[in-house]
Amino acid sequence: MNLKQHNTFSPRQTARAIGVSEASIKRWCDNGKLSYEKTVGGHRRLSLPVILGFIQDQGIKLRQPEVLDLPAAVGPGARTLEQACDLYEQALEQGDQARSLQIAFDMRLAGHSMAVIADKVVAPAFHALGERWQHGDVEVYQERHGVEITRRVLLRLKDTLVPPEPDAPSAIGATLSGDPYCLPGLMGELVLLELGWQAKFLGSQLPHTTLEKAVHDLNPSVLWLSVSSVGDPEAFVEANARLYALCLEHQCALVVGGSALTDQVRPRIKYASFGDSLQHLGAFAQGLSVYTRQNGHGFGQAQF
């Protein structure tokens, strides 16, 4: 934390807030358009009144006003994934979509994969939100709004991915009836898209019968099931067994994962791969596509 420098900002922070490049800020400082002070080492420090006066004079918009509200919490974005998670949770709690988006983009710029962002930032942020709800610090509407916000953030992130090749392997994902949680499924789509797959998240609460139809019609290489909630365990196990058999028949790998697959349920279900996290899903998909590239199309699934 940088607590010594209240109310002064680095060129980078200022640049982020205004929405221009760092170089421009420095130029304007040197031109005299922006007044500033120097540290003993020669670093520029800008005061809040100066920045606000500047944007008033020039008629510019503050693209990220929150950057100036929280000087301690910014820099090139959050340094660590944990910090990013905290900030993201905070942004969701405040219903601040712009800030949520910025945090997510910062992580992207820092080079983190979709899987890491999903596993280390988004998922734990919601976990923390749930904890705070149990303690009465957070209302349900805040959590739900957070889901809406995150959905939009994820779709924005999707636009940063290169579109898959037409001949890329395809995957479809869904949650089964009784499981209304759509975010893990959506994040799964992003993870697979990032790896070059043609991934489609079909939606949540799909009856297993229609998923069978989907496998039959779309003939994907992978079917991933996100399981965040299991309504009736017996029905789930039954649905899983039928899906597994169908996938075998269609040379499709069935991947399951999610927080609801506890030690009691997991032994009873069948799958080609099980993943605790989205990173697992990504790793499996990557291994699979390497395998098929080496051996041509059509692969068994006993190997996995």
Give me the residues that bind a second copy (CB under 8 A), please: 1-3, 5-6, 19-20, 24, 28, 33, 37-41, 58-61, 63, 69, 95, 101-102, 105, 108-109, 139-141, 144-145, 147-148, 151-152, 155, 159-160, 174, 180, 200-207, 209-211, 213-214, 217-218
DSSP 72: G
Q: Which helix (H) or strand (E) holds 168?
A: none
Alpha-helix runs per DSSP H in the chain: 11-18, 22-31, 48-58, 66-69, 81-93, 97-109, 114-117, 123-134, 140-159, 183-194, 208-218, 233-249, 278-295
**Residue 155 contact among DNA, a second copy, none, beta carbon within 5 to 8 Å by kind:** a second copy
Amino acid identity at 127: H
Which of 42-50, 146-154, 204-212, 223-231 is the region at the interface with DNA (rule: CB under 7 A)?
42-50
Q: Is 8 in the site for DNA (CB under 7 A)?
A: no
- Cα 101 from Cα 269, distance rounded (Å): 37
Q: Which residues pair with 12 in a beta bridge?
A: none
CB of 10 to a second copy, least distance (A): 14
Binding mask 56-85 for DNA (x = CB under 7 A): -------------------xx--x------
**7 or 303: CB nearest a second copy:** 7
Starting at the edge strand found earlier in the chain, the sheet holding 273-275 runs 198-201, 170-174, 222-226, 253-257, 273-275
Q: Is 111 in the site for DNA (CB under 7 A)?
A: no
Which one of 41, 111, 166, 298 is in contact with DNA (CB under 7 A)? 41
Q: Which residues pair with 275 in a beta bridge?
A: 257
**Residue 210 contact among a second copy, DNA, none, beta carbon within 5 to 8 Å by kind:** a second copy
Question: What is the pairing mode between strands 170-174 and 8-9?
Answer: unpaired
Q: Is 20 in the site for DNA (CB under 7 A)?
A: yes
Following DSSP, what letter does each residue of 101-118 receive, concatenated?
HHHHHHHHHTT--HHHHI
**Residue 237 contact among a second copy, DNA, none, beta carbon within 5 to 8 Å by kind:** none
Which of 24-32, 117-125, 143-151, 216-224 is the region at the interface with DNA (rule: CB under 7 A)?
24-32
User: Which parts of this chain interact with DNA (CB under 7 A)?
Assistant: 1-2, 4-5, 10-13, 20-24, 26-28, 39-44, 75-76, 79
